[in-house]
């Protein structure tokens, strides 16, 4: 597996791959001063040309950057799912998606491509998460929640059942979402309230 991005997020993915018995070939990063991470070789982005035979995960936390890189690469994308993650039998997980330690994803849930389900996050039954979503540590999506492309659910946030969250939304850490959220909104607090809107350029 090749990892694109050599920072803290990559360290966690390396740990998942190692614990899963998967081989890390090398990493790629735009920072030419980085030559090694966790004893693995880091190649400069300018020296790497992707091919369809490469199996790769984009190990970058930013949803927008993951999307930009995914659309620019000519590669197949793998998965990194921690051995302690719990998945329902009929859960669908998109390519390039990473699931950290202690995550729980319950029955009839769809996780899109290049998403992050972070440490101890809980995604309950019948949820639908689109591509490039990040569900942060210790956050909870109750049943039948829909999350649009590129949205970020902050650490410790809670979304009650049957809520629709639009695309490129930011839900702040610890927020409690009790009503639908429109595209690009930034929501904080308990109960969650919109304080502004994100840039519409994804």
What pLDDT does 75 receive?
87
- Is the backbone of residue 120 left (phi > 0), alpha (psi -120 to 50) or beta? left
Q: Is 202's pLDDT higher than 70?
A: no
| Secondary structure element (H or E) that encloses residue 9, with its range | helix 8-19
What pLDDT does 11 receive?
97
Q: Which of 113, 125, 134, 152 is catalytic?
A: 125
Q: Is 201's pLDDT higher than 70?
A: no
d(CA 187, CA 59): 26
What are the two backbone dihedrals, phi and then psi, of residue 142, each rounded to the nearest 5 degrees? -75, -175
Residue 82 falls in the annotated catalytic set: no
Q: Is 200's pLDDT higher than 90?
A: no
d(CA 185, CA 173): 14
pLDDT in tens, 26-74: 999 999 999 999 999 999 999 898 888 889 999 999 999 999 999 998 8
pLDDT in tens, 77-105: 999 999 999 999 899 999 999 999 999 99
Where is average pLDDT lowest: 72-81, 103-112, 115-124, 133-142?
72-81
């Amino acid at each position: 597996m090749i990892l694109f991005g050599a920072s803290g997020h990559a360290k966690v993915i390396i740990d998942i791959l190692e614990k899963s018995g998967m081989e890390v070939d090398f990493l790629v990063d735009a920072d030419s001063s980085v030559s090694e991470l966790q004893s693995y070789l880091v190649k400069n982005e300018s020296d790497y040309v992707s091919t369809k035979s490469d199996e790769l995960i984009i190990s970058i936390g930013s949803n927008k950057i993951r999307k930009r890189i995914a659309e620019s690469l000519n590669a197949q994308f793998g998965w990194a799912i921690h051995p302690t993650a719990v998945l329902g039998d009929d859960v669908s997980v998109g390519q390039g998606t990473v699931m950290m330690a202690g995550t729980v994803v319950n029955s009839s849930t769809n996780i899109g491509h290049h998403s992050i389900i972070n440490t101890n996050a809980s995604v309950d039954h019948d949820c639908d998460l689109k591509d490039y979503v990040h569900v942060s540590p210790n956050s909870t999506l109750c049943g039948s929640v829909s999350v649009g492309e590129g949205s970020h659910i902050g650490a410790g946030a809670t979304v009650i059942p049957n809520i629709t969250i639009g695309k490129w939304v930011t839900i702040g850490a610890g927020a409690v979402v009790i009503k639908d959220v429109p595209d690009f909104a930034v929501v904080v607090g308990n109960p969650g309230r919109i304080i502004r809107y994100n840039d519409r350029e994804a």
